Amino acid sequence: MHILTAEERSYYLDKYPIDDFFSFDIDPFLEVCKFDKGEWIFQEGSFPDTLYYMIEGKAKIYMTHKNGKVSLIEYPEAPRFMGEIELLNEARYTKGVQTVTETICFSITQSCKEKLLTDVLFLRKLCVFLGEKATKITSKYTQNQAYPLENRLAAFIQLSSDQGIYKEKHTEICEYLGVSYRHLLYVLAQFCEEKILEKKKNGYHIMNRKRLSELAQEIQ
Amino acid sequence: MHILTAEERSYYLDKYPIDDFFSFDIDPFLEVCKFDKGEWIFQEGSFPDTLYYMIEGKAKIYMTHKNGKVSLIEYPEAPRFMGEIELLNEARYTKGVQTVTETICFSITQSCKEKLLTDVLFLRKLCVFLGEKATKITSKYTQNQAYPLENRLAAFIQLSSDQGIYKEKHTEICEYLGVSYRHLLYVLAQFCEEKILEKKKNGYHIMNRKRLSELAQEIQ
DNA sequence: ACAATAATGTGAGATATCTCACATTTTTCA
DNA sequence: TGAAAAATGTGAGATATCTCACATTATTGT
């Protein structure tokens, strides 16, 4: 992570105005910083003391279980807060957050914590954000346990494919969908078998959009 | 649901003071109401216009999937908010909420919505509540997919047993743990087989607390 | 350019969990 | 108090998913 120069800073502040999140002047408490691709924003189990507002980039939120399994909990995408729960609760340790692409964040130090926690505008934004987060997580996980991978994967392919081509990293997606790598490949192979997908050099091509939709639409 | 008399109202307001949640006088906007056991507080799919703060009782939050499966998402217990997400977001439809026991709530009409959404004290409470909710749901569901029922059930029995006896309704618990009724019985039978539990008239008696702990403690 | 590392891919067998069909018991309510 | 509904219980077979061991192919760092 490194902090951007004054020039870059004002570029981003201009591009992504954030003043209306706060009723006080946030400028003195704010830095713009850049994380490299793959860099960890929060180490799992650490106690972060910075609130980030991600403005460009994508990341992954992880947690590791006692038995060694890893859950990819969320795919946070800009724009959104990170570290907000730790701001609200003292000494709450965090999940691991790792960038997927180069990522630009506004970083807000806890030196203005008091101001933040008494700011109506900010708190309301945060409430809405947290409410949506809770709703999203709930729907992801209830789906996970109500539908077999076949349906969830179909939905995920629809979401994440680009120009009719699906080419995500299996290692990531199996963690996200909560199944083993092996099983993900099984179901992908099954989709190819059924001519829903076709595996090519540059990814899996969607051959039967209709059938894929049917499978996906079993889900809410 | 019925609204309590002035006398009962002041009894509960006295017993569970709530003034310090608000920086304005909430009294004119607040009723105390009672739900019977099994009554629905929110119908699934409806658009509630009341914020509740549950002060006594227990409930269940449900959602029904397209394929007919039902997920028991949460076991809300007093004290806590309900309907807070719908307060923040216009026209958000709700999950189903049904009481498990007789339940007493403060009900706050949306006529003071503006006041609430500009009240620092209230918003901060709400943020903390929503943050905890998100954390709790995340940990429940990541565990669900990282551990077999054997471990999760052991943990759940520890939590919900009383005086060494486990006697929850299987139909509910299988929904909560996200498995089929059949499978829940299998694993309970297995626990009996292994002499961890013993099935008696009044419930499953815990016979091997140590082994149960071991199974439960695989989970974080 | 090469070694190390990560990602991908596959087979085979095990396990966790589900579906369905049906029997019994308990609870609810008209 | 009797009929209906809910809860409980069980068997048998299907399916979804996992584990492990190993081979191949990309990607990365030096």
Q: Is residue B140 part of a domain?
A: no
Q: Is residue B124 part of a domain?
A: no
The protein residue nearest nucleotide C17, judged by CA to C1', is: B183
Q: Is residue B69 part of a domain?
A: yes
Same domain (yes/no): B7, B90:
yes
Protein CA at A183 to nucleotide C1' at D18, angstroms: 8
Same domain (yes/no): A10, A113:
yes
Chain centroid, CA B67 distance in Å: 24
Same domain (yes/no): B34, B109:
yes
Identify the helix (H) or strand (E) that includes residue A215: helix A209-217
Q: Does the CB of A185 sit below 7 A from strand C?
A: yes
**Domain finish residue from A104, A119, A134:** A119
User: Is A121 in CB contact (< 8 Å) with chain B?
Assistant: no
Same domain (yes/no): B105, B9:
yes
Same domain (yes/no): B155, B55:
no
Tokens 């076949």 correspond to: A150
Q: Does the CB of A37 sit below 7 A from strand C?
A: no
pLDDT in tens, A73-124: 888 888 999 999 998 887 688 998 988 788 999 999 888 999 999 999 999 9
Query: What total of structural domains would you count in chain A?
Result: 2
CA distances from residue A100 to A87, A110, B102 in whole angstroms, order as listed:
24, 26, 48
**Domain finish residue from B97, B113, B129:** B113
Q: Is residue A127 part of a domain?
A: no
Which CATH number goes with the domain that contains B166?
A: 1.10.10.10
Residue type, A24: F
Q: Is residue B176 part of a domain?
A: yes
pLDDT in tens, B31-49: 999 988 778 899 888 888 8
Mean pLDDT of B179-203: 91
- Whole-angstrom distance, CA of residue A69 vs CA of residue A175: 9
A127 vs B128: CB contact, 8 Å cut-off? no
Identify the band that residue A219 occupies on the pLDDT scale cut at 50, 70 and 90: low
Contact in structure between A57 and A21 (CB atoms under 8 Å): no
Q: Does the CB of A66 sit below 7 A from strand C?
A: no
Compute the Cα dihedral for A140, B80, A48, A32 and give only its sign.
Answer: positive
User: Residue A3, exposed/middle/buried by CB under 10 A (0-12, 13-18, 19+)?
Assistant: exposed
- The reported pLDDT for the residue numbered A6 is 94
What secondary structure does DSSP assign to chain B, as a single string? -EEPPHHHHHHHHHHS--GGG-SS--GGGEEEEEE-TT-EEE-TT----EEEEEEE-BEEEEEE-TTS-EEEEE--BSSEEESHHHHHSTT----EEEESS-EEEEEEEGGGHHHHTT-HHHHHHHHHHHHHHHHHHHHHHHHHHHS-HHHHHHHHHHHH-BTTEE---HHHHHHHHTS-HHHHHHHHHHHHHTTSEEEETTEEEES-HHHHHHHHHT--
B-chain CB neighbours of A124 within 8 Å are 88, 117-118, 123
Same domain (yes/no): A105, A177:
no
pLDDT at B190 over 80: yes
A133 vs B135: CB contact, 8 Å cut-off? no
Identify the band that residue B17 occupies on the pLDDT scale cut at 50, 70 and 90: very high
Query: How crowded is residue B202: how many other Cβ atoms within 10 Å of its Cβ?
Result: 7
pLDDT in tens, B121-138: 999 999 999 999 999 888
A-chain CB neighbours of B144 within 8 Å are 141, 144-145
A119 vs B124: CB contact, 8 Å cut-off? no
Which CATH number goes with the domain that contains A65?
A: 2.60.120.10
Owning domain of residue B72: 2-113
Q: Is residue B158 part of a domain?
A: yes
Q: Is residue B186 part of a domain?
A: yes
Identify the band that residue A50 occupies on the pLDDT scale cut at 50, 70 and 90: very high
